[in-house]
Chains A and B, each alone.
Chain A
């Protein structure tokens, strides 16, 4: 078997995000870098940096959902904080609605932030236990002086019913609710300012299985109704798969693969994406034995302070070659709607990829 026919390798692959030109972008994450100084010692002779986010480019178009997946420590939550304007990046721009949010003054940023809101993982820690549901949802409306008096009450009641909560709940406190209901309150608060973008950082991870589906459905419904754009961060691949249009896979601060959901899940080209997908337990006992590629990924996540040279994944990669240790691969298009940062992307079928693997071993 000829290896070259299996692995598709072209020098002049198209670089950049091909989706950006076709649609109208709402959020552009361009060249974001965030390094944390983790040097030890008083004199800090040797500088050490944790590269939490490294050269990340991502574009979100109006009305779509982009899912970011990756293991803990891959930088997905840091990226969310940077997008929210809460953590200035070392390099790069966050362009929301044609404005670079880090070029704005504090006051301007506050005004701009009406357009983008966040939903967190743990709804009990993102709700003030001493405030009633009414106060929680009314707070953003009051702070931007949007409505007052009777109208404020009406608006809060409207938001409650939008997220599927009874309007009589408005006088209660967060602890009186279950996790799923609390997450609905958080969503209602996020919706209060009629945002265009909602950043969801693992919004269903802390919830029970039967409740996860409710919240995911609610997020989808709201998207259709209000033409929302979501940046959806999660490590639970099935839920990210369910809600997203496009997916970006992160590994140690970098996007290693991105593209349309169907392509990423059906034809993953990066060995890490493949490993990630084959690690997800599938709730179907027959699927295991018959159709599943069974690649177990080796080893642990490397120390992010001292990441491997070249391609950061090479220490765990089943098909790594010498070049992978030396030269970091560039994210580039390998087929329509799919970009991969890998020297040897797997673009053929599973069977051929296996033969290729056997060939190089």
Chain B
């Protein structure tokens, strides 16, 4: 429950999309909290609702999507009831986002310098000269080797890694308290990924910024985060400390996911594969959303929707096997 360390508290969040073909329940009853300065991962496959969750928090859900229920308490105010203007102020100062593909997030017709200055001017309400100083300070902070050159370049002239550094500079220059990173390294090569991850970890530690890290890569989870939430079919199926998740996964889906990930430090026999396909949000099964693919499913799983059940080691799992 909320205490003075809590930065963000999402409760019973439901975001649905009202399309011509009917209502698509993208996320259903998602609840979690993030403490100040903490790194929390949201893990899931495509269609699991992880990106919709982050967009809901950022207030970027647009028609036909709508938050139909629940609250998002950030810094003691409920974001879902804010006016557009007030929301913008929060996004400007306290919350930022880094996206997967920096090329689409940057404007191709303006130079990096111009875009950085514009962002900083609006965020910190300073003049151009001061903004330029801050921009250079941040280009150095994100370890860009030749800031002068990058400042004058256009997005297409930079490599993917450099572009993502610029995005991080933009996102962190307002010293936000929460950074939402939506698969920020998926488009990058592994050696660059490592640089970017380390950069994010170092900078957010310095600024005491919390990160909600959205990813499908369990390797990144193990390296980066403190706590993990696993999403499946629009809901959280397991919440756990990172070590617990890897040592003692509870939900059969988490277990399957861990087993089906090839590891370079293990000499593998046949990979364990989760059978079946990932359900789409418009076509979710009844009962437990995972039961058609679950090796441990029994008759009740087909009809009963399991609640999040607390486990004695502090983790929570949405599975009837843990009922007592």
A residues near B (Cβ < 8 Å) are 71-72, 178-181, 208-214, 216-217, 220, 235, 237-239, 241-242, 262, 265, 275-288, 291, 296-297, 299-301
**B271 pairs with A213, CB closer than 8 A:** yes
Which of A220, A285, A286 meets B270, CB within 8 Å?
Answer: A220
Chain A nearest Cβ from B237, distance in angstroms: 13
Q: How far is the CA of A287 from the CA of B218 in the complex (A)?
A: 13
A residues in contact with B263, CB < 8 Å: 238, 282-284
Task: Give the interface size bracket for B toward A.
Answer: 35 or more
Tell which of B219, B243, B265 has the most Cβ of chain A within 10 Å: B265
Q: How far is the CA of A303 from the CA of B278 in the complex (A)?
A: 39
Q: Is B246 an interface residue (CB 8 A)?
A: yes
**A71 pairs with B262, CB closer than 8 A:** no
**A281 pairs with B222, CB closer than 8 A:** yes
Which of B189, B216, B221, B222 meets A301, CB within 8 Å?
Answer: B189
Which of A210, A220, A238, A296 meets B198, CB within 8 Å?
Answer: A296
Chain B nearest Cβ from A149, distance in angstroms: 33
A residues in contact with B162, CB < 8 Å: 300
Q: Is B264 an interface residue (CB 8 A)?
A: yes
Which secondary structure dominates where chain A touches chain B?
helix
Q: How far is the CA of A80 from the CA of B175 in the complex (A)?
A: 46
Stretch at the interface among B3-11, B102-110, B252-260: B252-260
Chain A nearest Cβ from B295, distance in angstroms: 12
**A214 pairs with B273, CB closer than 8 A:** yes
Q: Is B272 an interface residue (CB 8 A)?
A: yes
B197, closest chain A residue (CB):
A281
Tell which of B197, B223, B243, B270 has the most Cβ of chain A within 10 Å: B223
B residues near A (Cβ < 8 Å) are 45-46, 145, 159-162, 189-195, 197-198, 216-223, 242-243, 246, 256-258, 260-265, 267-268, 270-275, 277-278
Which of A179, A212, A280, A300 meets B219, CB within 8 Å?
Answer: A280
**B192 pairs with A238, CB closer than 8 A:** no
**B45 pairs with A235, CB closer than 8 A:** no
B residues in contact with A299, CB < 8 Å: 145
B45, closest chain A residue (CB):
A208
A residues in contact with B194, CB < 8 Å: 278-279, 281, 296-297
**B264 pairs with A280, CB closer than 8 A:** yes
A208, closest chain B residue (CB):
B45
Tell which of B193, B195, B197 has the most Cβ of chain A within 10 Å: B195
Chain A nearest Cβ from B300, distance in angstroms: 23
Chain A nearest Cβ from B52, distance in angstroms: 16
Tell which of A213, A283, A285 has the most Cβ of chain B within 10 Å: A283
Q: How far is the CA of A213 from the CA of B260 in the complex (A)?
A: 6
B residues in contact with A235, CB < 8 Å: 189-190
Q: How far is the CA of A300 from the CA of B46 in the complex (A)?
A: 30
**A288 pairs with B222, CB closer than 8 A:** yes
User: Can you list 13 A-B contacts with CB-CB less than 8 angstroms, sorted by A residue number?
Assistant: A178-B277, A209-B45, A209-B261, A216-B262, A217-B271, A235-B190, A238-B263, A278-B194, A280-B190, A283-B246, A283-B263, A284-B265, A299-B145
